[in-house]
Structure 1
Amino acid sequence: MKHPMERRRLSACMLALCALAVPSLAQPAPEAGESRPARLMVEQVCAACHGNTGQSTQKEYPSLAGQNADYLFKQLRQFKASAGEPALRQDATMAAVVQSMSETEMREVARYFSRQPPARGQAALPHLVEAGKAIYWKGNPSNRLPACVSCHRPNGEGIAPDFPRIAGQQPEYVVRQLHAWKSGTRGGPGKLMSLLVPLMTDEEIVAVAQYVAQLR
């Protein structure tokens, strides 16, 4: 049985998808180089969780503004099951969103978010920022945990297309995703993060999330 919050998220998502079938009477003109269908989908579907410009104000949902377009496209595809194969990423709400999306639409939405000004986050537990900084820059030599900076870069900008931008990200979301990698419910055997995150303690996960949240 789905949690009440999950049911509400899914219901809101399905209502928003239905709204896409009704043309808007007064939509502002898209900016130069911007896809109108992508903007409409963002405003009518994605914004409920991620904000109109990809800067989420809800701690459980990630900010997508400024994220690498190729990375976002890859993640959207992973939420969609195909040819009898289960989706690589499991989320009832995102599965409903991407089910009717073509790859072209996914690319346009990803491109839209990538062009938005990156989010400016903040640590929820500021006293853990310094501990998180140590793990991010040096890793943990005692258990051979590599430094996060190797893949996510000094300012948390990531390396396209495989390593995402994490600067300014919601710390609660980062914690949840790291635990998903650690438990094996995200990714799969052989994926880099599935090999590295199990080396982290729960305390290190929380501290790193606080550090990347306040990166600019």
Structure 2
Amino acid sequence: MKHPMERRRLSARVLALCTLAVMPALARSASEAGESRPARLIVEQVCAACHGNTGQSTQKAYPSLAGQNEDYLFKQLRQFKAGASEPALRKDATMAAVVQSMSETELREVARYFSRQAPARGHAALPHLVGAGMAIYWKGNPSNHLPACVTCHRPNGEGIAPDFPRIAGQQPEYVARQLHAWKSGTRGGPGKLMSLLVPLMTDEEILAVAQYVAQLR
């Protein structure tokens, strides 16, 4: 018998796959009508299975998008989309399939829709690590020249548009996974600020920071 968490993850994946199956038909319908689909319709039909109708994700594998900066979110959506002669800057099979059939206008409208929702209110999955995460977030680690996270992500985790995202209330598992992706080089690329900084973090520091930002308001 599958663990309840595994069943929830499987259900989310099934919903996402079902969504991908209807995406081409939705795209053709909009194209034939000569107009973009309303953002709310796109969110309900495409995004909600993973991110929730208002961007409040209940799945640990997927980020909450509510209250995220519009310009940052638009930029990230575009990075999942491959061009005619260039690969996508961010790699994710599900997101690539979702955004490939969306117009620039639709991407912008979806980003605007999520940015106007009430910000996510998360919580630390490992509360005993919040204190250690706070120390790294505010002071960095002078012993290995790791800068403080607060410099770019601000005191309340609100970020700086359009380059530094809002991370307050974000799923801690998602934050940790993205930091590991930056550390391993599977996200970003040479010269990117996070590609230079995150490799300075230990796995323990990544886990602690993820817990701290999750409970920021």
Asked if TM exceeds 0.5, the reply is: yes
Q: Which amino acid aligns with 1:13?
A: T
Task: State the shift of 1:86 in Å.
Answer: 1.3
Equivalent in the alignment of 2:201: 200
Q: 1:80 & 1:134 partners in 2: Cα distance? A: 37
Q: How does 1:1-216 map to 2 (within 5 A)?
A: 8=14, 11-18=17-24, 20=26, 37-216=38-217
- Cα distance per residue 1:85-142 (max 9 Å; x no partner): 1111000000000001111110000000000000100000000000000000000000
Q: By how many angstroms is 1:178 displaced?
A: 0.3
2:149 aligned partner, one-letter code: C
Q: 1:14 Cα deviation (Å)? A: 1.4
Question: Is the CA contact 1:19–1:44 (under 8 Å) kept in the aligned structure 2?
Answer: no
- Which aligned segments of 4 or more residues in structure 1 are displaced greater than 3 angstroms? 4-10, 18-23
CA separation in 2, counterparts of 1:168 and 1:60? Answer: 14
Between the aligned partners of 1:36 and 1:80, the Cα distance in structure 2 is 18
Deviation at 1:20, TM superposition (A): 3.3
Would the alpha carbon gap of residues 205 and 167 (structure 1) be closer, same or farther in structure 2, given more than 3 Å must change?
Answer: same
More helix by share: 2
CA distance in 2 between counterparts of 1:97 and 1:150 reads 33
**Is contact 2:168-2:213 (8 Å) kept?**
yes
Deviation track 1:148-200 (CA, whole Å, cap 9, x = no partner) reads 00000000000000000000000000011001100111111100000000000
Change (3 A) 1:209 1:133: same
Asked if 2 retains the 8 angstrom alpha-carbon contact of 1:9 and 1:93, the reply is no
Deviation at 1:13, TM superposition (A): 2.7
User: Would you say how many aligned residue pairs link Structure 1 and Structure 2?
Assistant: 202
Q: Output the TM-score relative to the length of structure 1.
A: 0.88
CA shift for structure 1 position 19: 6.4
**How much has 1:12 moved relative to structure 2?**
2.1
Identity %: 85
Structure 2 residue runs without a partner (length 5+): 1-8, 30-35
1:22-60 superposed Cα distances (whole Å, 9 cap, x missing partner): 98xxxxxxxxxxx97110000110000000000000111
User: Any unmatched runs of 5+ in structure 1?
Assistant: 24-34
Q: 2:184 is matched by which residue type in structure 1?
A: S
TM-align CA RMSD: 2.0
Contact 2:19–2:45, Cα closer than 8 Å, also in 1: no
Deviation at 1:10, TM superposition (A): 5.3
Q: Partners of 1:19 and 1:122 in 2: how far apart?
A: 38
Report the secondary structure of 1:20's partner residue: helix
Residue type of the alignment partner of 2:195: S
Q: Name the amino acid aligned to 1:135.
A: I
1:19 to 1:127, Cα distance in 2 relative to 1, 3 A: farther
